[in-house]
Structure 1
Amino acid sequence: MNLLVQTANDVPPFVGPSINEFFPPAIFFEGTAFEINRIMIIRFLAVALILVVFWLGTRRMKVVPTRGQSIVEMGLDFVRVNIVEDLLGRKDGRRFLPLITTVFFMVVAMNVTGVIPLLNIAGTSVIGVPLLLAVVAYIAFIYAGVKKSPGNFFRNALFPPGVPKGLYVLITPIEFVSTFLVRPFTLTLRLVMNMIVGHLLLVLFFTGTQWFLFEAPGLFKLFGAGTLVFGFAFTVFELLIIVLQAYIFAILTTVYIQLALAEEH
């Protein structure tokens, strides 16, 4: 009995993921406004990845595209046809295509670092980048509306036409909160929370696999096969979430711009 207790006590406890992983220590310029930690470096790498991919795919454009050019063109056409022109049409779509394309591919690149070995955390899993992109979407929404109807945009947004005047005391505060306050926060939270949950689940599965295989006693090691399978399965699922979140962010940004360009504004 004493031997069994001693063996159990010798097994290191399982330590799961924690929220502290999203706040790693500084690597460069600690304590300054330019502090750089692991997540910042991952963000730099994601931006570099975008630049390299598009440079390689477009440096020698040909009528008969190469494989790299075809992949880049497919990505660009996906955003142009299925998001921008589908919602804004060709005329307005041409104006906002660079913005929506940048948002889509930036979110994809920042998200995909969460499943790349040795990086293992998304650049969008900390609120800074999602909030920045949400602010850009918000500014584009305001710009589109004011540009289309300088004198009517805010008035029609806060005082919708056709509503009895007595109801404006209720409708106007609701429209102000939902249109000008809630939208950037929902864009931000939807993206950052998905990336946080995805990271925590992946770390849970793979650290669990490591613990079962190398630390757990006896037959408990067999559970490592299960957590490993779940880890790989969830990695595939996370790849879908990565692209889906980029699509949702881009399409919501486009929808907001479309609403700002609507005729009633």
Structure 2
Amino acid sequence: MSADVRTISLAAEENCHIFGENQCGFQEVSPGIGLFFPEPWASFGLPLTSGFTKYTVLLVLSVLLVMAFWFFTTRKAKIVPGRGQSIAELLVAFIRDQVVRPGMGKAGDKYLPLMLALFTFIFVMNVMGLIPGAQLPVTSNLAYPAVLALFVYVLWNVIGIREHGFGSFVKGKVVPSGAPVWILPLLVPIEIVSNFVFRPVTHALRLFATMLAGHLLLAVFAAGGFYLFNLNAGGLLSVVSVGYSGLSLLAFLVFTGFELFIMALQAYVFVMLASVYIGEAIEGAH
């Protein structure tokens, strides 16, 4: 059972509603950061890990879903595509024309499969936060966006060094072209921190923070709707509680649709930045 469902179940067991008999406040049942730390099902004695958790299951499920999507939509490609192949082709065209070529040019077409895999993988991991029974975005755990950002960071460095050599690549990233010599002692440290420290950190944090905040917002509206619903309050208070509960449910539905858009947008932003970084490595531009 997901953490947000457990929160609502606990509230039900304690009869914790607005105008309830035990006069509990919403802060006593409201979901918190504990949503994102599910209890491990097994530890296996592995150091520096949280063991086998719900995140692990959803990660494996995400991988299988992405593999299944690309397998079943492309295994029997036809000149006149069916529905599945049409969806796959639209996705390929979108990532190629809106992500890869704007960021890398035609030279980046060989990285198109990588960008497609990253986009669909991140999107599916994000959507796990909306699937009943799962209700936990994999990317709301910092470890997963961090590994993906680290992969892109290493790839960016490897491509840049392979294309231009170590010295030329590093110089292009830490010495702004056209900058006067006298200001370089100030600019070079800033560029080193910006390109080699902040770049991978912000790449990971952007995805992680958005997914964490979005899921927490949905959980608050879900728990709030239950807390506000109390037919036993009596008279006008029952009507008021139902009205407020309905508004909370409406907000939950609206934000669910908005969160689905944000999930797709964050997957797009992640691969767009990855494409721009790799494009810089290919061209050697600062």
Q: Provide the TM-score with structure 2 as the length reference.
A: 0.84
2:112 aligned residue: 97
Distance 1:61 1:214, change over 3 A: farther
Deviation at 1:136, TM superposition (A): 1.2
| 1:88 has 2:104 as partner | yes
- Matching residue of 1:221: 242
What corresponds to 2:272 in structure 1?
251
Match of 1:184 in 2: 200
Matched, 1:235 2:256: yes
Say if 1:11 and 1:216, in contact at 8 Å, map to a contact too.
no
Equivalent residue of 1:54, what SS?
helix
TM-score by length of 1: 0.91
Pick from 169, 172, 192: which aligns with 2:185?
169
- The aligned counterpart of 1:21 is 35
Contact 1:12–1:215 (Cα < 8 Å) also in 2: no
1:131-210 alignment to 2 at 5 Å?
131-150=146-165, 151-210=167-226
CA RMSD of aligned residues (A): 1.9
What letter corresponds to residue 176 of structure 2 in structure 1?
P
Determine the C-alpha separation between the residues in 1 that align with 2:59 and 2:231.
34
Number of aligned pairs?
258
1:56 maps to 2:72: yes
C-alpha distance in structure 2 between counterparts of 1:238 and 1:113, whole Å? 12
> Matched residues in 2 for 1:153 and 1:170: separation?
20
- Secondary structure of the corresponding residue to residue 139 of structure 2: coil
Q: Which residue in the other structure is 2:7 paired with?
A: none
Q: Distance in 1 between matches of 2:25 and 2:70?
A: 46
Rate the CA distance shift 1:75–1:26 in 2: closer, same or farther, 3 A: same
Q: Distance in 2 between matches of 1:257 and 1:72?
A: 24
Residues 209-257 of structure 1 show CA distances to partners (whole Å, capped at 9, x for unaligned) of 1222258732323211000000000000001101100111010111111
Matched with 1:10 is 22
Distance 2:170 2:20 in 1: 67
Aligned-pair distance for 1:156?
A: 2.2
Q: Deviations over 1:181-204 (max 9, x none)?
A: 000110111100100110111011
Q: How far apart in 2 are the matches of 1:263 and 1:224? A: 56
Taking the aligned partners of 1:248 and 1:263, their CA distance within structure 2 comes to 22
**Cα deviation code 1:154-207 (max 9, x no counterpart):** 122222332222221101100000011000110111100100110111011111
Work out the CA distance in 2 between the residues paired with 1:114 and 1:177.
Answer: 34
DSSP 3-state at the match of 1:124: helix
What is the CA-CA distance between 1:146 and the residue it aligns to?
Answer: 1.0
Contact (CA 8 Å) 1:57, 1:68: kept in 2 or not?
A: yes
> How do 1:110-149 residues align onto structure 2 when only pairs under 5 Å count?
110-149=125-164
- Report how far residue 54 of structure 1 moved: 1.2
- Residue 4 of structure 1 corresponds to none
Instruction: Report % sequence identity.
Output: 34
Alpha-carbon distance in structure 1 between the residues aligned to 2:21 and 2:230: 15
Q: Which amino acid aligns with 1:143?
A: V
2:62 counterpart residue number: 46
